[in-house]
A and B are shown apart, each in its own frame.
Chain A
């Protein structure tokens, strides 16, 4: 199962399902919605957090949240 955490730098994916328990509404409001594209832009030193481009929003989230968001790799 691929999640945002399994992306490599520069790689992209399409967001699939995730549970609202683990992914807060705030992230949805930033554009992290099923069907939208996500790209891994940068990885911080020590491999965490991840710097993403989600649907045009540039944001960083921690690995533990990234693991909760399933994607289809493209």
Chain B
């Protein structure tokens, strides 16, 4: 019998929920956003046993059903809304065998909602080494549920978990404990006012607003007329609820769980002694960062060269083998170079995501938060700002979303505002190509490549700009918020290759496809604008022939002059010349000006734009790099990309806010256009002034 089952995966952060998700779904997953908000939504499908299709939703990690962040709120909204298409038929609570006590708090809350709930205890393979023994049968009886002991590391227990999910309708749905005895009189009043509602659900709906603020939701009828308690009374009741739940859990664990602590060898404390050391901690952190940058620059050189040459050859091949015409030109001059301009950066972006995913999976990131908190606070940031700032080296969008767990609004806002300064992977294409053009390829002390050091410097510059502007913002922003900071220090784990690989593939794919769409569209528009023009454009052949009549040029040379004449008089040429006065003081010609303007959609468009502009009308099999190297400055002569204009461009890309998607996310996260507009104007102004100063000083 084929059926469709909705499963929700729930659990505390760091219980290995994502590994369980990966084990159950493999590569059949989709990452999207919850409607209306930017919290990541991971879904996957799997086929279990007798052809049941199982739809699995990986919900954000939560400590309880008392929302205090957007992530937690998503979970509660889903569990309270039976009409949601993702509403689970069965909830799987993933718990870590070493943190059962705390994990069970969430479990008992979900159970009280009357949803069939399976307790899946992860990392069961560690029980022996940690001297933990568990009376599963007794625990199942006490918690009124089914328990699956699993290990995603050793791939154990998943067949049983799948079987439990398949037979979810046999699970008991009775609640574990009666929350109403924390304040019988209040709950009586509730029961009388809303006779048809589930009591615990009511309680969650009411208290959610106390902790998190009013939310859009279908209001319960009559809630306005109900005599409510003061917020502080409700808080006290929630405290009592937590205590009651813990008492209940302690009682059960006393009967079912024994831990022989004497036997537990503690790798955590030994590693922590080194990794959070006041000297070695920082040395290790910065060495890791250095290693990442060296890898990005050095190791990815070979696959990148290969991709670069392949695309140049492909463009050439289409041109000679497809029937000549405008459509062939569009493909070979517009689409292929445009796409090539983004595909080439796959190796580097993949490396970056690889490292970030390893740092997060291993539990090291939390130690960095711990190590950096006091330091970051001096700049108005939080230790938790380190994660967005490091993740920002991949992409500002997930980085800004990662600020959600910063509890203090002022620290969070500052982090959101300064994160776009960190060097995201979209800047890499621009940096790499310009560094390769203007910085000599030599090694210092025979080890460090000067080009790699320049790249490293660009990263430090971005980070420095972020820190400095945070410090300024801390001084000028007048926001009073209560500060609270808490970070869990998970046990160290060896990252699962499968998890790291899935993250790397998924994120790289999302990046390439997301940016690819914009680049493809812009490439086509640019090609059209560069291939057509008004007036003189259409008489290019005769005008050029007349002009060079006396010079006895070969047909090839003449063609070349016709092509550049056409480009200059095309629509894009007209636009470029119109904006040239604004970019000339920075050392750029009109072509770079066009690339700069299109880059405001997304930075990585820069290389694609130049690739398209330089490809139009040229039929040599050449890489974009060699074409850029051959460009001549129309006024001063000499190469267009020289040290002065190169540095100026690097600075412009380091500081300017050129990413529409980031602006959209900032708007969403701050709920106003004020902050994204502020970023756009201020960052671009800083970029312009610094580039101007650099070029004028260096030229």
A contacts, CB < 8 Å to B: 20-21, 24-31, 33, 41-42, 44-49, 51, 55-62, 64-65
Interface string of B218-261 (1 = CB under 8 A from A): 00000000000000100110110011001000000000000000
Q: What is the bound-complex CA distance between A41 and B64, given in angstroms?
A: 25
Q: What is the bound-complex CA distance between A47 and B102, given in angstroms?
A: 28
**A residues within 8 A CB of B268?**
58
Tell which of A21, A28, A56, A60 touches B487, judged by Cβ atoms closer than 8 Å: A60
A26 and B68 within 8 A (CB): yes
Among residues of A, the one whose C-beta sits closest to the C-beta of B277 is: A45
Tell which of B211, B375, B485 touches A25, judged by Cβ atoms closer than 8 Å: B211
Among residues of B, the one whose C-beta sits closest to the C-beta of A50 is: B370
B283 vs chain A, min Cβ distance (A):
12
A25-B238, A55-B101 known; A33+B370 contact, CB < 8 A: no
B contacts, CB < 8 Å to A: 63-64, 66, 68, 98-99, 101-102, 105, 211, 232, 235-236, 238-239, 242-243, 246, 268-269, 272-273, 276, 278, 281-282, 366, 369-371, 373-375, 383, 483-491
B485 and A65 within 8 A (CB): yes
**B residues within 8 A CB of A24?**
68, 484
A24-B68, A62-B483, A65-B485 known; A29+B236 contact, CB < 8 A: no
A41 and B269 within 8 A (CB): yes
Besides the known contacts A30-B486, A56-B99, A60-B486, 4 further A-B residue pairs in the complex with CB atoms under 8 A apart: A49-B373, A59-B487, A60-B487, A62-B484
Among residues of B, the one whose C-beta sits closest to the C-beta of A52 is: B489
**A residues within 8 A CB of B211?**
25
A48 and B105 within 8 A (CB): no
A30 and B101 within 8 A (CB): no
**B residues within 8 A CB of A51?**
272, 276, 370, 489
B102 and A31 within 8 A (CB): yes
**Can you give 27 A-B contacts (C-beta < 8 A)?**
A20-B239, A21-B232, A24-B68, A25-B235, A27-B486, A28-B242, A29-B66, A29-B105, A31-B246, A41-B272, A44-B371, A45-B281, A45-B371, A45-B374, A45-B375, A49-B485, A51-B276, A55-B102, A56-B101, A58-B268, A58-B488, A58-B489, A59-B487, A60-B370, A60-B489, A62-B484, A65-B486
A65 and B484 within 8 A (CB): yes
B276 vs chain A, min Cβ distance (A):
6
A59 vs chain B, min Cβ distance (A):
5
**A residues within 8 A CB of B278?**
45
Tell which of A57, A60, A64 touches B99, judged by Cβ atoms closer than 8 Å: A57
B234 vs chain A, min Cβ distance (A):
11
Main secondary structure of the interface of B (DSSP, over half): helix
Q: What is the bound-complex CA distance between A28 and B370, given in angstroms?
A: 20
B236 and A20 within 8 A (CB): yes
Q: What is the bound-complex CA distance between A59 and B268, given in angstroms?
A: 13
Q: Which of B235, B371, B489 has the most CB of A within 10 A?
A: B489
A25-B235, A26-B63 known; A42+B102 contact, CB < 8 A: no
A30 and B63 within 8 A (CB): yes
B186 vs chain A, min Cβ distance (A):
17
Tell which of B242, B487, B489, B491 touches A29, judged by Cβ atoms closer than 8 Å: B242
Tell which of A27, A46, A61 touches B374, judged by Cβ atoms closer than 8 Å: A46
**B residues within 8 A CB of A62?**
373, 483-485
Q: What is the bound-complex CA distance between A58 and B486, given in angstroms?
A: 10
**B residues within 8 A CB of A44?**
276, 370-371, 373-374
**B residues within 8 A CB of A46?**
374-375
**B residues within 8 A CB of A42?**
272-273, 276, 370
**A residues within 8 A CB of B273?**
42
Among residues of A, the one whose C-beta sits closest to the C-beta of B72 is: A26
Among residues of B, the one whose C-beta sits closest to the C-beta of A31 is: B102
Among residues of A, the one whose C-beta sits closest to the C-beta of B269 is: A41
Q: What is the bound-complex CA distance between A57 and B66, given in angstroms?
A: 18
Q: Which of A20, A25, A31, A64 has the most CB of B within 10 A?
A: A25
A30 and B102 within 8 A (CB): yes
Q: What is the bound-complex CA distance between A48 and B483, given in angstroms?
A: 14
**A residues within 8 A CB of B66?**
25, 29
A35 vs chain B, min Cβ distance (A):
9
Q: What is the bound-complex CA distance between A57 and B204, given in angstroms?
A: 25
**B residues within 8 A CB of A29?**
63-64, 66, 102, 105, 242
B488 and A57 within 8 A (CB): yes
**A residues within 8 A CB of B369?**
60
